[in-house]
Structure 1
Amino acid sequence: MRVAILGCGYVGRELGRQLLAAGHDPIGVRRSSEGVAAIESDGFEGVQADVTESPSLAVVPDVDGVVFAASSGGRDAEAAREIYVDGLETAIEAFGTREDPPERFVYTSSTGVYGDHGGDWVDEETPIEPTTDKTEVLAEAERIALEVPDRYGIDGTVARFAGLYGPDRYRLERYLEGPVTEGYLNMIHRDDAAGAVRFLLTDDLAREETVLVVDDEPADRWTFADWLAEQCGLEPPEKRTTDERLAEDDLSEATRRRVSTSKRCSNATLRGLGYDLVYPTYREGYRDAIEQFRRERGRRP
């Protein structure tokens, strides 16, 4: 199977590595020459192109599937719209109007589209309630990914990622140093985020569907922080309730929304399809980071 990975970065490169290892033909697409070089260092083909410019995408060969994994780089809603809505529509049209269009188009989204559910469980049947300009953009992009490809005979799939973590993104200090605010963490290791997309593509699953990509256990933040501290040989960090955190005067509006948002995301659909998680919970997923922390701590004077 030949797969173009648009915005082949943190998850995309791992997806490419997994596809290559399974005997498939990934093509990573990045805007910069440095990004292309990084892809090629992983052993598969890299192509320099911009998802927001249709003529640019003409250099990408014909493929069986397309994965849209581009990032807006954490910028504002206007920048997010340029990538996730305008870029997504551009990419779908660029591939859909080809003489030999792909059969599948996978868009990687975020569980941020759910908004706050007071700690209750959510799944693919739960109505989304985006609460910020950026998550409204993500929700619009999900609709485009499921509806627009059908115009070209392409089946769209939305892979809705929980919070990504893994190599270079463990952020241990955030939880070891505290303070830690109450609520739930919904997480997915980078390798499983990529693995789930690979699985949906290569096993030809979830056409015209949304699938939540999250691990087995939504983590209570306080429980997670205490476990992490214990594993690292440190004292538990300071804890704060939601009300205590919101009472602080220096919080941005984005931080206030994040602090007051809590939900538990179910992976029953992903598990039901047959995907086996490499890192079922944070306990397995953070093992390498903890071991590295303890080694480095042991070397300190």
Structure 2
Amino acid sequence: MEKTLLSFGHGYSAMALSRLLLPRDWRIIGTTRSEDKAPKLMADGIEPRIWPGADMVPALNAATHVLISAAPGADGDPVLAELRDEIAARAGQFAWVGYLSTTGVYGDHQGGWVDENTPLTPATKRGIARVEAETAWASIPDLPLHIFRLAGIYGPGRGPFSKVRNGTARRIIKTGQVFSRTHVADIARVLAASIAKPNPGAAYNVCDDDPAPPQDVIAYAAKLLGLPIPPSVDYETAEMTPMARSFYAESKKVRNDRIKDELGVELLYPDYKSGLKALLAQEIGA
């Protein structure tokens, strides 16, 4: 039977998964809001659907697996807002459904550790919206839902090097602040491992082994480039967008034992140093 992934909001992480699945003869249908992005998806082997707008019933009928990357908006989860009944009617058809959430659902733990059993106490509007979306997806009877709580994502085209090179990088200092992060290639490996070993109802933290202060990551990137370490700026007086400042409202270390113990995932980049080294080597070799 042909395996068909229907990917809502086919962006950065979903594309990394596609690069693993396409060589295994998967059919992948991916939605995008932008007609301009459709040719790029096609060139990458994805069947694009401009959605909202396109009739998604044929794609839902064909899907054996579903991935949801689309973020919740003012009206909640956009996929459920339009297609909940159609998805619920096909719950038994799908072998696997994955929802990409965020570790922001755990809220602030003042630098302490959290795991998948930690109560969800989000401290930001984005985190609250994600908890509501997780709950809404989980409320669909018999849907083989898997929730993936992603830490800060980096990878090709998404790293600190450009800001360090152009002199706009800053090391924001907030005492005790730590973030967990994850390379996009490891997100793809976790998703592929879950597809191969479904466990409906499971939630997985997707992050590396080394939660670290953000200023350390910037400093290491500068060291790799052989450039001066960017200046430090106190968090309280730093000029930051509301979005950027909201990230500093939470400090926690995220455990990732479940992706290793249940899914057998061995991280390609278990810490930011190995990840940044690989990114730079990839840039130089490109």
Instruction: Report the TM range for the smaller structure's normalisation.
Output: 0.7 to 0.9
Summarize the Cα distance change of 1:229–1:31 in structure 2 as closer, same or farther, 3 Å threshold.
closer
Residue 39 of structure 2 is matched in structure 1 by 37
Q: Which has the higher helix share?
A: 1
Q: Does 1:158 align with 2:151?
A: no
For residues 228 and 161 of structure 1, the distance between their equivalents in structure 2, rounded to whole angstroms, comes to 22
Residue pair 1:95, 1:102 contacting (<8 A) in 2 also: no
> Which secondary structure state, in structure 2, belongs to the residue aligned with residue 81 of structure 1?
coil
Amino acid at match of 1:16: S
For residues 240 and 28 of structure 2, the distance between their equivalents in structure 1, rounded to whole angstroms, comes to 42
Amino acid at match of 1:171: P
When normalised by structure 2's length, the TM-score is 0.85
When normalised by structure 1's length, the TM-score is 0.81
Match of 1:259 among 238, 243, 248: 248
Match of 1:221 among 191, 197, 214: 214
For residues 99 and 257 of structure 1, the distance between their equivalents in structure 2, rounded to whole angstroms, comes to 36
Task: Give 1:267 deviation, angstroms.
Answer: 0.7
Residue pair 1:13, 1:28 contacting (<8 A) in 2 also: no
Residue 70 of structure 1 is matched in structure 2 by 70
For residues 188 and 99 of structure 1, the distance between their equivalents in structure 2, rounded to whole angstroms, comes to 30
Summarize the Cα distance change of 1:170–1:282 in structure 2 as closer, same or farther, 3 Å threshold.
same
Match of 2:231 among 238, 261, 269: 238
Amino acid at match of 1:166: G
Amino acid at match of 1:31: R
Residue pair 1:147, 1:156 contacting (<8 A) in 2 also: no
Residue 200 of structure 1 is matched in structure 2 by 194
> Which secondary structure state, in structure 1, belongs to the residue aligned with residue 45 of structure 2?
coil
Structure 1: 5+ residue runs without aligned partners? 73-79, 297-301
Summarize the Cα distance change of 1:146–1:66 in structure 2 as closer, same or farther, 3 Å threshold.
same
Residue pair 1:186, 1:214 contacting (<8 A) in 2 also: yes
Summarize the Cα distance change of 1:260–1:154 in structure 2 as closer, same or farther, 3 Å threshold.
closer
> Which secondary structure state, in structure 2, belongs to the residue aligned with residue 185 of structure 1?
coil
For residues 4 and 295 of structure 1, the distance between their equivalents in structure 2, rounded to whole angstroms, comes to 33
Task: Give 1:294 deviation, angstroms.
Answer: 7.2
Deviation by residue 1:140-174 (Cα, 9 ceiling, x = unmatched): 001112222x2xx2211111111111111113255
> Which secondary structure state, in structure 2, belongs to the residue aligned with residue 200 of structure 1?
helix
Residue 58 of structure 1 is matched in structure 2 by 57
For residues 99 and 146 of structure 1, the distance between their equivalents in structure 2, rounded to whole angstroms, comes to 12
Amino acid at match of 1:67: L
Q: Which stretch of the first structure deviates more once superposed, 174-183 or 287-296?
A: 287-296
Residue pair 1:62, 1:102 contacting (<8 A) in 2 also: no
Match of 2:96 among 100, 104, 110: 104
Deviation by residue 1:12-34 (Cα, 9 ceiling, x = unmatched): 12212211123333222223333
Residue 261 of structure 2 is matched in structure 1 by 272
Residue pair 1:106, 1:145 contacting (<8 A) in 2 also: no
For residues 35 and 237 of structure 2, the distance between their equivalents in structure 1, rounded to whole angstroms, comes to 46
For residues 253 and 46 of structure 1, the distance between their equivalents in structure 2, rounded to whole angstroms, comes to 33
* Structure of greater relative contact order (alpha carbons < 8 Å, 6+ residues apart): 2
Match of 1:283 among 268, 273, 286: 273
Match of 2:173 among 156, 175, 181: 181
Residue pair 1:180, 1:237 contacting (<8 A) in 2 also: no
Residue 211 of structure 1 is matched in structure 2 by 204
Summarize the Cα distance change of 1:18–1:294 in structure 2 as closer, same or farther, 3 Å threshold.
closer
Q: Which stretch of the first structure deviates more once superposed, 283-292 or 195-204?
A: 283-292
Residue 107 of structure 2 is matched in structure 1 by 115
For residues 268 and 15 of structure 2, the distance between their equivalents in structure 1, rounded to whole angstroms, comes to 17
Match of 2:185 among 183, 191, 194: 191
Summarize the Cα distance change of 1:212–1:295 in structure 2 as closer, same or farther, 3 Å threshold.
closer
Task: Give 1:41 deviation, angstroms.
Answer: 0.8
> Which secondary structure state, in structure 1, belongs to the residue aligned with residue 111 of structure 2?
coil
> Which secondary structure state, in structure 2, belongs to the residue aligned with residue 119 of structure 1?
coil
